[in-house]
A and B are shown apart, each in its own frame.
Chain A
Amino acid sequence: MAKYIVKRLLLMIPTLLGVAVLIFFLMRVVPGDIVELRFAGESAFAQKENLDKERARLGLDRPLWEQFVTWMLGIMRLDFGTSMWTGSPIIEEIQLRAALSFQLAVMATIIAVVLAIPLGVVAALKQDTWVDYCVRIFSIAGLATPSFWLGIVFILMLLIVFKWLPPMVYTPFWVNPWQNMLQLIWPALAVGYRYSAVATRMTRSAMLEVLREDYIRTARAKGLWQKLILSRHALKNAMLPVLAVVALEFAFLMGGLVVTEQVFNLNGLGMLFVESVARRDYTLTQALVMLVAFVFIFVNFTVDLMYAWLDPRIRFR
Chain B
Amino acid sequence: MAIRPATVAEVPDVAGRRGWLAQVRDFCRERPLGAIGAAVVAANILVAISANVIAPYDPLTTDYGAMLAPPSAGHWLGTDAFGRDVLTRILYGSRTAMLVGFACAFFGATIGAVIGVASAYFAGKVDLIVQRVMDIFLAFPLIILALAVVSILGTGIQNVIMAITIPMIPRAALVARSSALAIRELPYVDAARAAGFRHRRIILRHMLPNVMAPYLIMLTAYLGQAILLEASLSFLGLGVSEPTAAWGLMLRGAAVQFAEAAPWMAIFPGLAISLAVFAFNLFGDSLRDALDPRLKTQ
Question: Residues on A close to B: CB < 8 A?
Answer: 11, 14-16, 18-19, 22-23, 26-27, 29-31, 127-128, 133, 136-137, 140-141, 143-146, 148-150, 152-153, 155-156, 159-160, 205, 208-209, 212, 241, 244, 255-256, 258-259, 262-263, 270, 273-274, 277, 285, 288-289, 292-293, 296-297, 300-301, 303-304, 307-308, 314, 316
Please determine whether B152 and A262 come into contact, CB atoms closer than 8 angstroms. Answer: no
- B107-147: which have CB < 8 Å to A? 132-133, 135-136, 138-144, 147
User: What's the nearest-Cβ distance from chain A to residue B19, in Å?
Assistant: 27
Residue of A nearest to B284 (CB): A140
| Complex: A270 Cα to B208 Cα, angstroms | 38
User: What's the nearest-Cβ distance from chain B to residue A183, in Å?
Assistant: 17
- Knowing A29-B152, A146-B274, A262-B236 touch, does A241 contact B143 (C-beta < 8 A)? no
- B residues less than 8 Å from A155 (CB atoms): 259
- B176-190: which have CB < 8 Å to A? none
Residue of A nearest to B279 (CB): A144
Please determine whether A127 and B297 come into contact, CB atoms closer than 8 angstroms. Answer: yes
24 residue pairs bridging A and B, Cβ less than 8 Å apart? A15-B139, A16-B139, A18-B132, A26-B148, A29-B152, A136-B285, A141-B274, A144-B224, A144-B276, A144-B277, A145-B274, A146-B231, A146-B273, A149-B251, A149-B273, A156-B260, A160-B260, A259-B232, A262-B235, A262-B236, A288-B141, A292-B141, A297-B135, A301-B1
Q: Is B39 an interface residue (CB 8 A)?
A: no
- A residues less than 8 Å from B248 (CB atoms): 146
| Complex: A293 Cα to B140 Cα, angstroms | 6
Residue of B nearest to A244 (CB): B4
Most B CB atoms within 10 A — which of A23, A31, A143, A209? A143
- Knowing A15-B135, A274-B236, A316-B3 touch, does A143 contact B144 (C-beta < 8 A)? no
- B residues less than 8 Å from A289 (CB atoms): 140-141, 144
Please determine whether A146 and B144 come into contact, CB atoms closer than 8 angstroms. Answer: no
- Knowing A15-B135, A144-B274, A293-B139 touch, does A152 contact B266 (C-beta < 8 A)? yes
The 9 A-B residue pairs with the shortest CB-CB distance in the complex, in nearest-first order? A149-B270, A18-B136, A144-B277, A144-B278, A293-B139, A30-B151, A15-B135, A277-B147, A145-B274
- Knowing A143-B224, A146-B274, A149-B270 touch, does A23 contact B140 (C-beta < 8 A)? yes
| Complex: A266 Cα to B144 Cα, angstroms | 19
Q: Is B33 an interface residue (CB 8 A)?
A: yes
| Complex: A157 Cα to B69 Cα, angstroms | 20
User: What's the nearest-Cβ distance from chain B to residue A271, in Å?
Assistant: 11
| Complex: A143 Cα to B37 Cα, angstroms | 14
Number of residue pairs spanning A and B whose beta carbons lie under 8 angstroms apart: 154
- B residues less than 8 Å from A274 (CB atoms): 143, 147, 236
| Complex: A146 Cα to B235 Cα, angstroms | 11
Question: Residues on B close to A: CB < 8 A?
Answer: 1, 3-5, 33, 132-133, 135-136, 138-144, 147-148, 151-152, 224, 228, 231-232, 235-236, 248, 251, 255-256, 259-260, 263, 266-267, 270, 273-278, 280-282, 285, 294-295, 297-298
Please determine whether A156 and B263 come into contact, CB atoms closer than 8 angstroms. Answer: yes
| Cross-interface CB contact of A148 among B132, B138, B235, cutoff 8 Å | B235
User: What's the nearest-Cβ distance from chain B to residue A123, in Å?
Assistant: 13
| Complex: A263 Cα to B257 Cα, angstroms | 11
Residue of B nearest to A147 (CB): B232
Please determine whether A314 and B3 come into contact, CB atoms closer than 8 angstroms. Answer: yes
Please determine whether A153 and B132 come into contact, CB atoms closer than 8 angstroms. Answer: no
| Cross-interface CB contact of B151 among A31, A212, A300, cutoff 8 Å | A31
- Knowing A127-B297, A262-B236, A304-B3 touch, does A143 contact B139 (C-beta < 8 A)? no
| Complex: A29 Cα to B133 Cα, angstroms | 20
- A residues less than 8 Å from B297 (CB atoms): 127-128
User: What's the nearest-Cβ distance from chain B to residue A248, in Å?
Assistant: 10
| Cross-interface CB contact of B278 among A141, A153, A244, A273, cutoff 8 Å | A141
Please determine whether A14 and B278 come into contact, CB atoms closer than 8 angstroms. Answer: no
- B residues less than 8 Å from A263 (CB atoms): 256
- B residues less than 8 Å from A152 (CB atoms): 251, 255-256, 259, 266, 270
- Knowing A128-B297, A274-B147 touch, does A259 contact B235 (C-beta < 8 A)? yes
- B residues less than 8 Å from A144 (CB atoms): 224, 228, 273-278, 280-281
User: What's the nearest-Cβ distance from chain B to residue A151, in Å?
Assistant: 10
User: What's the nearest-Cβ distance from chain A to residue B137, in Å?
Assistant: 8
Please determine whether A140 and B273 come into contact, CB atoms closer than 8 angstroms. Answer: no
Residue of A nearest to B151 (CB): A30
- A residues less than 8 Å from B152 (CB atoms): 29-31
- A residues less than 8 Å from B135 (CB atoms): 15, 18, 297
Please determine whether B151 and A277 come into contact, CB atoms closer than 8 angstroms. Answer: yes
Please determine whether B4 and A19 come into contact, CB atoms closer than 8 angstroms. Answer: no
Please determine whether A18 and B144 come into contact, CB atoms closer than 8 angstroms. Answer: no
User: What's the nearest-Cβ distance from chain A to residue B217, in Å?
Assistant: 13
Please determine whether B232 and A146 come into contact, CB atoms closer than 8 angstroms. Answer: yes
- A residues less than 8 Å from B255 (CB atoms): 152
| Complex: A128 Cα to B296 Cα, angstroms | 11
| Complex: A300 Cα to B170 Cα, angstroms | 15
Residue of B nearest to A314 (CB): B3
- Knowing A128-B297, A152-B266, A263-B256 touch, does A258 contact B285 (C-beta < 8 A)? no
| Complex: A258 Cα to B282 Cα, angstroms | 27
| Complex: A143 Cα to B276 Cα, angstroms | 11
| Complex: A255 Cα to B274 Cα, angstroms | 24
User: What's the nearest-Cβ distance from chain B to residue A252, in Å?
Assistant: 9
Please determine whether A256 and B141 come into contact, CB atoms closer than 8 angstroms. Answer: yes
- A residues less than 8 Å from B295 (CB atoms): 205, 208-209
